[in-house]
Amino acid sequence: MTLSKLIATQIKQWFPAPPVHAHCDGPCGVYDPASARIAAEAVLSMTKKILDLQPPIGNDAQVMAAYQNTMSRYIQIKEEQAQITKKELLILWTDYFKPVHLEQFPDLHDKFWKAAKLCSACKVEVSLSHANELMAAIKEIQEIFWTTKNRTDVSWYTAS
Partner 1 sequence: MKPLLQPGDELLVDVRAYRQSSPNVGDIVVLQHPQEPNLQIVKSVTAVTTAGDCFVQGNNPSASTDSRTFGYVEERLILGQVVCRFF
With CB under 8 A as the contact rule, the residue among 21, 59, 62, 157 that binds partner 1 is 21
Residue 17 makes contact with partner 1 by CB under 8 A:
yes
Stretch near partner 1 under the rule CB under 8 A, chosen from 20-28, 38-46, 68-76, 103-111: 20-28
Residue 20 makes contact with partner 1 by CB under 8 A:
yes
Start-to-end Cα distance in the chain: 64
Cα–Cα distance for residue pair 74/100, rounded to 1 Å: 41
Residue 57 makes contact with partner 1 by CB under 8 A:
no
- Are 105 and 131 spatial neighbours (Cβ–Cβ below 8 Å)? no
The H or E element spanning position 57 is none
The nearest distance, CB 25 to partner 1, in angstroms, is 6
What angle, 0 to 180 degrees and rounded to 10, lies between the N-to-C axes of helices 61-91 and 128-148? 30
* Total residues found in the chain within this entry: 160
Cα–Cα distance for residue pair 149/88, rounded to 1 Å: 18
With CB under 8 A as the contact rule, the residue among 1, 13, 14, 19 that binds partner 1 is 19
The nearest distance, CB 8 to partner 1, in angstroms, is 7
Q: Given the rule CB under 8 A, which residues bind partner 1?
A: 8, 12, 17-25, 27-28
